[in-house]
Amino acid sequence: MGEVNSMIRKKLNPIIILSNILIFIVVLFFQTSEIFDISIKTATPMIPLSLIIGFAFFSSMRSAIIWGLISGIMIDSVAYKSYCFNAIAFMLIAVAVYLASNNLFNKNLKAALVLALICSVVYFVLLWILFYSKTSIDSSLGYLLKYALPSATYTAVLVIPFYFIYRYFSKKIIKN
């Protein structure tokens, strides 16, 4: 795998780099704008998290850290009372996904979905513990059951398109 990573580092195609930057910008802006709200009832996906998971699955460790950190900070700049939670969470999730995909799992869709589900559940449960659990019991449990868990599942499912996009990029890089 280290060999593949070094190939990725050596033969990065500028079109792929630009496409990647564009994907990140579009996803980050879509997450915070009113356009195309893809929420299903109370399930609101954290699309940048799906993106980071899909990206870290095929990227190098360095890229995973950088993009995880940048995406997290961008979300922090608009998220209500997040402090640096998203920056830390996104970066650590990106690193965890990179390590797990290279050491524990095969790089197939099933593994990506399992990892995405674990990571998004951890993310939303942490979000709940840190920011939404200190209200009344009804509101607190209501947030966990009605918002956090459905949103985590939805976020995990959204990793599928990003998995295929980055698998395609990864194959292109290896071919070159």
Q: Which is nearer to another protein, 24 or 162 (CB)?
A: 24
| Dihedral over Cα of 19, 46, 104, 68: its sign | positive
Binding segment (CB under 8 A) for another protein, from list 10-18, 73-81, 109-117, 161-169? 73-81
CB 47 within 8 A of CB 154: no
Using CB under 8 A as the binding rule, whether residue 118 contacts another protein is answered as no
Q: Is 77 in the site for another protein (CB under 8 A)?
A: yes
3-state secondary structure 21-87: HHHHHHHHHHHHCCCCCCCECCECCCHHHHHHHHHHHHCCHHHHHHHHHHHHHHHHCCCCCCCCHHH
Quote the tokens at residue 73. 């900070």
Tell me whether residue 23 or residue 172 sits nearer to another protein (CB atom): 23
Backbone angles phi, psi at 108, to 5 degrees: -110, 170
Residue 87 or 173: which CB sits closer to another protein? 87
Under rule CB under 8 A, residue 35 binds another protein: yes
Interaction between residue 24 and another protein (CB under 8 A): no
Contact between 142 and another protein per CB under 8 A? yes
Provide the token pair at 11: 């033969």
Q: Does 31 bind another protein (CB under 8 A)?
A: yes
| Assigned token pair, 164 | 């295929």
- A 10 A CB-CB count for 36 gives 6
Tokens 């870290």 locate to: 56
- When asked if residue 116 is in the footprint of another protein (CB under 8 A), the reply is no
Does 147 engage in binding with another protein (CB under 8 A)? yes
Region near another protein per CB under 8 A, out of 9-17, 50-58, 86-94, 159-167: 86-94
Residues in contact with another protein by the rule CB under 8 A: 29, 31-35, 37, 39, 42, 44, 46, 61-62, 65, 69-70, 73-74, 76-81, 83-85, 87-88, 91-92, 95, 99, 103-104, 127, 134-136, 138-139, 142-143, 146-147, 151
